[in-house]
Amino acid sequence: MEHPVALIVQKFGGSSVADAESVKRVAKRIAATRRAGNDVVVVVSAMGDTTDELLDLAQQVTPLPPQRELDILLTAGERISMSLLAMAINNLGVKAKSFTGQQAGVITDAVHGKARIVDVVPHRIRETVERGQVAIVAGFQGVTESTNDVTTLGRGGSDTTAVALAAGLGADVCEIYTDVDGVFTADPRIVPAARKIDRITYEEMLELAASGAKVLALRCVEYGRRYGVPIHVRSSFSGKEGTFVSGTTHPLGAPVAALAQPTDPSSSAVPEELVMEAPIISGVAHDRSEAKITVVGVPDVPGTAARIFEVVAGSGANIDMIVQNVSVARTGLTDISFTLPDGDGAAALSALSRIQEEIRFDSLQYDDQIGKLSLVGAGMKSHPGVSARLFGALRDAGINIEMISTSEIRISVVTRADDLDDAVRAVHSAFELDSDTDEAVVYGGTGR
């Protein structure tokens, strides 16, 4: 019986194509997939730390580069890797052609630096695949319909390109190849004892990604959930099966950690008491990319918070945690602190300083030496002991908590950036997520 041809979208991250040798290694993998009879569309990121290097270069020219120009600069990174990869695949005797985001029909809104994909019209990609050729698409970029300007999708955006193309083409699976064996209960770079999660739902993955687990970009998971694209996160350095992200939920109440263990077929996987008692913890995520702004000495009258956050939103910043406190300095005043991506810091500060007279606050403080740890799990809402256990773990590790926020399925704390790694390890152990068998492998990348 003949198998219908599968359409596979494969995305290779920067660490998988860090140098010419890696490009050739990845090309072999792609050629093998094609030779096995599959239709293949590839999405590729910029080589190694190219995007960071381009950002540094722009910073050396001007502290606030115009967003439109920055986008054009950054998309150059993916153009380098896409063409080299196409050359390497052709050299193996398999026909391949590369396309920019614009050529691939990735249409976005006009928000430079974090554009959203609004449509995918992949005519040229489909045509290429129908001719039996491999289509290579530059990740992380698109074009606006109205102005034809080139945009980027935000850091890690190649993941989103891949899932959006997979949805647009009706692919059977979107494989995200990276430098670790899948999604783990914590970043394996920090916690070598982290466990690989074999299967995870879109919802749990969304929460991990939103909390900083950069193995998958947040919008890629949102996109995958909306269009039901099965995502397989795996290593480009090994042949191991990775993590499947899909809409299938776990057996009711089963802790992820238990599912990640090899199951003994002779016994039922999760004992009944465990199902009822154990909090479901997906993992511990961390984020080093945020900063904290404190508006010091804000008059404690109605409307000031509204005005402050109107202005911050107007600067284009996405706010995360907010804390308001009665000021220690003087009565009748409050201090308002909030966190935001550090890339949005300069614009938010300058917008706020323009309303200093109007609001009559004392001063602004900026702190980019913070780290955020989040414990994520769908079951924690029914387990009141979870926060106490988390805070206890941090206390035992001698780590001070600066801010706390909670939701039904997540607890986040802000610490000093220098304490973050220790905090992640302490919390991971305290929730018994450490694997006592294998050590997680990090195959490449600089973790930048």
Mark the binding-site residues for ATP, compressed into ranges: 11-14, 178-179, 189, 214-215
- Beta-bridge partners for 287: 372
Contact region with ligand ADP (CB under 6 A), list: 1-9, 67-75, 180-188, 256-264 = 180-188
CB 265 within 8 A of CB 292: no
Q: Which is nearer to ligand ASP, 187 or 367 (CB)?
A: 187
Tokens of 263: 């199951």
Can you tell me the distance from the alpha carbon of 403 to that of 11, in angstroms, rounded to the nearest whole number? Answer: 36
82 touches ligand ADP by CB under 6 A: no
Q: Build a one-symbol-per-residue string for 24-63: x at contacts with ligand ASP by CB under 6 A, - elsewhere.
A: ---------------------xx----x------------
Q: Per CB under 6 A, which of residues 370..409 are in contact with ligand ADP?
A: none
Rounded-to-integer distance, Cα 47 and Cα 23, Å? 9
Contacts of 43 (CB under 8 A, 6+ apart): 9, 10, 11, 12, 136, 137, 138, 139, 158, 161, 162, 165
Toward ligand ASP, which CB reaches closer, 141 or 435? 141
Rg (Cα) of the chain, in Å, rounded? 23
Residue 371: which of Mg ion, ligand ASP, ligand ADP, none does it interact with, CB under 5 to 8 A by kind?
Answer: none
CA distance 158 to 145: 20
Strand partners for 336: 295, 324
212: contact with ligand ASP by CB under 6 A: no
Near Mg ion by CB under 5 A: residue from 101, 156, 182, 212: 156
Q: Which helix (H) or strand (E) holds 340?
A: strand 333-341
Site for ligand ASP in 237-266 (CB under 6 A): none
Annotated binding site for substrate: 51, 78
- Token duo for residue 330: 């003087």
The item of ligand ADP, Mg ion, ligand ASP, none sharing an interface with residue 155, based on CB under 5 to 8 Å by kind, is: ligand ASP
Residue 139 as a binder of Mg ion (CB under 5 A): the answer is no
Residue 157 makes contact with ligand ASP by CB under 6 A: yes
Contact between 73 and 44 (Cβ < 8 Å): no
DSSP lists the bridge partners of residue 339 as 292
Amino acid at 68: R
Cβ-based nearer residue to ligand ASP, 98 or 158: 158
Backbone angles phi, psi at 378, to 5 degrees: -70, -20
Number of residues counted as binding ligand ASP (CB under 6 A): 13
Annotated binding residues, as ranges? 11-14, 51, 78, 178-179, 189, 214-215
**Tokens 């973790």 correspond to what residue?**
447
What are the structure tokens assigned to 405, written together?
A: 């926020």
Q: Which is nearer to Mg ion, 156 or 297 (CB)?
A: 156
Q: Which is nearer to Mg ion, 156 or 279 (CB)?
A: 156
Question: Beta strands of 115-198 (E only): which ranges?
Answer: 117-120, 134-138, 141-144, 150-152, 173-178
Footprint of ligand ADP (CB under 6 A): 13-16, 45, 156, 178-180, 183-184, 186-189, 213-215, 283, 442, 445, 447
The site for Mg ion (CB under 5 A) is made up of 13, 156
Residues that bind ligand ASP (CB under 6 A): 13-14, 45-46, 51, 77, 139-140, 155-159
